Structure 1
């Protein structure tokens, strides 16, 4: 492709992909292979020494996955990306080069319930810890950072409540103290929000969701901005200090803006093995080709459904930042100028029991533990995805017992409203 900048719609189809040199196939082939033949012994040695880029073994690299990595990195405006087996894998992979026993991360209270559990419980087994803070309280964010903090983590549009993070301000805090900001951009996608443009160092995705968009495969991705100076302090020895497994190679000194990406493949995937399979990459590549078209319809439908719910007497409140009444509406226009996504919650009069009846009464909406599908989805987070949390944690995360989460799909919006109308009738009778 020429050097002239391309639009998002063009890049989502073409970035990273070229006709197959062996066959001329226009769609990226599924390279369903475990290993790759070396040209000779010197070629093999160069690959294993990270002196040459190429394919060794599909736990590390695969041509189909490589196209997906380049495409997502391009759409996010990053230097490089590493794909892996799920969004949760991406979060662990993102932290892996940064953390050591005794280190901590400062994270938003408004996170997906599984992430809250991962950060409050699971990472303790690595000797890591997380401090949860309301990211609207900037003084509290700064106060939570100490000499052992290695990253700040938030979601651009938080799951489940649709809360929009002030990314530029949080990035300013991270930059002031010399820490990377990691942003989960799953709910927004790079079509609605590009966190790197607001100062994020790393962007993570559950590619399972909107990027794939069809509910077929799981996957994750970490995108590196390439802008962070990993050698500015001694906080990140995995990237700045000699690596024993590669004869003393220093990743940042050797690979510069691609240091984090190379480490993610050469160390992260090598040792953690959280590999994306090539068929999953293929499905996600096909999904991304229509990302902008789908997100436009997702947002259009979400605005219409949320506005209807907001005026319904059976509903206490709606959390969607795309509504003018939302306290995050102005922030949403700044951070996500193309729309505030299609994920939000609403409170049902009648509380927990009414919510349970509601999800049992829908007909078009699917009651599943997923989001970002072309189909509209519904779930009662307090009894499912956020069930492991205390009620106080549920409320802080935007998943109180009286709220239901919606992921608005691309069906006819009037049909979605009619379905919610009849379900609310049953739930609040």
Structure 2
């Protein structure tokens, strides 16, 4: 290539070994930051488009993304994972891979407001309706909400913001009786604390921007599938999975069996709607996952200490943390969350919205921002931010009052967190308190 022009050489000249392979291989996952990939032989292009072999375009597949998907599937105990550009994209792709116009979702009332908006506002425009279950600990309430058109049950492993839990094994058994799919958003728990697929759930979704990445630097989302599919009910409930492909090609279920759900999401939903993750973001998510257990273990321990401390403060009306015996779902948490209770929870100050304002503005170690799962401790006032569009009655049903604050506890020294909270409580309430470390 040395006789070719500079412009040609500057994009094609790479160091190679004698056998033509790259001169070095990386221990860390390489970042394939490329829109497309070269085909080796002429027939490789046809093999890719015909049988899906190799790589052609990052929107369809990328080695960096694939490496992270493999890790996520293994950690969640699933058969396959699909990495996407955000947690919201993961939820949307998972649901659109299962539902069509005229069908129905039964969802927990206690879910992320972005997901609630997707179900209430966006999917209804596509003819997909939803029923929300308030008493999520009552299996009869879930059963009563299921219609002949229901195709999905949807809940969070640990809810936002009042830390409600669902009995995943019981809900999974109910879904199996009806032949429908149980989807669990496992963002708050992470696979380190809870693996819903091992408890019977069919599909897990994550906002990988949170604990999986861990440092508040990138966006990402993931779908993980169990690989279990009721082939008896699939033709009736999910006919798109058993329909022959174009030109008489085999159906997805004939090609991949129990992985038909995630194969359909990968082949027919994600690439067409286009929420492709950046390979750089995938790399950073993969790097974050390598320290997931260390961070979540520390965050959960810190959160328990903070919640216990807050529960004893006169300025605090209530603390909604599943690690406390006072929480209504503590017994279920003790059964299923044996490695820790998570690090995101809410508490309500004695006072009003102005009290909450003074408290937040007085904090020095906690960061005021709309995020969670960070190594840093974060705080947010839900009534004026994430839950502002709800009515007062709707907020109350979710445990959000004027003085409610949501915290995501980080990995800082817990004594510094308690000191910061103590001084902020003093400012907010004008009550002299002693700092307890």
Q: Report the 3-state secondary structure (helix = DSSP H, G, I; strand = E; otherwise coil) of the residue aligned with 2:356.
A: helix
Matching residue of 2:36: 35
Q: CA deviation at 1:388?
A: 1.5
Structure 1 segment 403-422 matched on structure 2, within 5 A? 403-422=404-423
Q: CA deviation at 1:110?
A: 0.7
Q: Deviations over 1:106-165 (max 9, x none)?
A: 000111122222211121122212110021122111011001111000000111222222
**Higher CA-based Rg:** 2
Counterparts of 2:250 and 2:398, CA distance in 1:
42
Counterparts of 1:257 and 1:201, CA distance in 2:
11
Counterparts of 1:282 and 1:392, CA distance in 2:
43
Matching residue of 1:132: 132
Matching residue of 1:218: 219
1:425 paired with 2:426, answer: yes
Matching residue of 1:240: 242
RMSD between superposed Cα atoms in Å: 1.5
Matching residue of 1:357: 358
Counterparts of 2:257 and 2:172, CA distance in 1:
21
Q: CA deviation at 1:330?
A: 1.4
Matching residue of 2:206: 205
Contact 1:117/1:388 (8 A) holds in 2:
no
The TM-score, its normalising length taken from structure 1, stands at 0.92
The TM-score, its normalising length taken from structure 2, stands at 0.90
User: Which is bigger in relative contact order (C-alpha 8 A, separation at least 6)?
Assistant: 1
In the alignment of these two chains, the number of paired residues is: 408
Q: Report the 3-state secondary structure (helix = DSSP H, G, I; strand = E; otherwise coil) of the residue aligned with 2:165.
A: coil
1:320 paired with 2:321, answer: yes
Q: CA deviation at 1:256?
A: 1.2
Matching residue of 1:8: none
- Unaligned segments of structure 2, at least 5 residues: 1-20, 431-437
Contact 2:98/2:261 (8 A) holds in 1:
no
Q: Report the 3-state secondary structure (helix = DSSP H, G, I; strand = E; otherwise coil) of the residue aligned with 2:132.
A: strand
Counterparts of 2:272 and 2:124, CA distance in 1:
19
Q: Report the 3-state secondary structure (helix = DSSP H, G, I; strand = E; otherwise coil) of the residue aligned with 2:354.
A: helix
Q: Deviations over 1:181-222 (max 9, x none)?
A: 000000000000000011100000000000000000000000
Counterparts of 1:401 and 1:177, CA distance in 2:
40
Q: Report the 3-state secondary structure (helix = DSSP H, G, I; strand = E; otherwise coil) of the residue aligned with 1:170.
A: helix
Contact 1:212/1:288 (8 A) holds in 2:
yes
- Unaligned segments of structure 1, at least 5 residues: 1-19
Matching residue of 1:114: 114
Q: CA deviation at 1:52?
A: 3.9
Structure 1 segment 134-283 matched on structure 2, within 5 A? 134=134, 135-230=136-231, 232-233=233-234, 234-244=236-246, 247-283=248-284
Moved more, 414-423 or 263-272: 263-272
Q: Deviations over 1:307-350 (max 9, x none)?
A: 00000000001010111222211111112111110011001000
1:93 paired with 2:103, answer: no
Cα 1:398–1:38 shift into 2, 3 Å: farther
Counterparts of 2:334 and 2:216, CA distance in 1:
28
Counterparts of 2:167 and 2:309, CA distance in 1:
27
Contact 1:114/1:386 (8 A) holds in 2:
no
Q: Report the 3-state secondary structure (helix = DSSP H, G, I; strand = E; otherwise coil) of the residue aligned with 2:416.
A: helix
Q: CA deviation at 1:409?
A: 0.3
Contact 1:68/1:281 (8 A) holds in 2:
yes
Contact 1:230/1:236 (8 A) holds in 2:
no
Q: CA deviation at 1:43?
A: 2.2
Q: CA deviation at 1:247?
A: 4.8
Matching residue of 1:389: 390
Matching residue of 1:6: none
Counterparts of 1:21 and 1:105, CA distance in 2:
50
